[in-house]
Structure 1
Amino acid sequence: MNQKFVFRIKTFKGGVIDNVLIEGRNIDEARYRLQQRYPGCTIMSARPK
């Protein structure tokens, strides 16, 4: 069963995006999916929803 995780990221160009919701079986899978969607981003925080 997938969980939902909420991320705060800094994009490759320097913009900050709050409340990015990603589903995954665990936090590592959610981070991987986030990196696929936003290549080169920096994860500032992550938490389960």
Structure 2
Amino acid sequence: MDDLKAETFFADKAYDTNELLDMLKEADIAAVISPVKSRKEQRAYSHEYDIK
């Protein structure tokens, strides 16, 4: 992730992990990843770019 140059990271819910979300936040990259249904606390995300 250190060499990743992006403003936004698009992925499906298979990539909804706290570890990845934390790395993206640290790199100041917006995550557009729909949350898995099994999350105890659902988090907000942009539905505008929802990947189905």
Q: One fold, TM greater than 0.5?
A: no
Larger Rg: 2
Q: Which has the higher helix share?
A: 2
Q: Which has the higher strand share?
A: 1
| Alignment TM-score, normalising by the size of structure 1 | 0.29
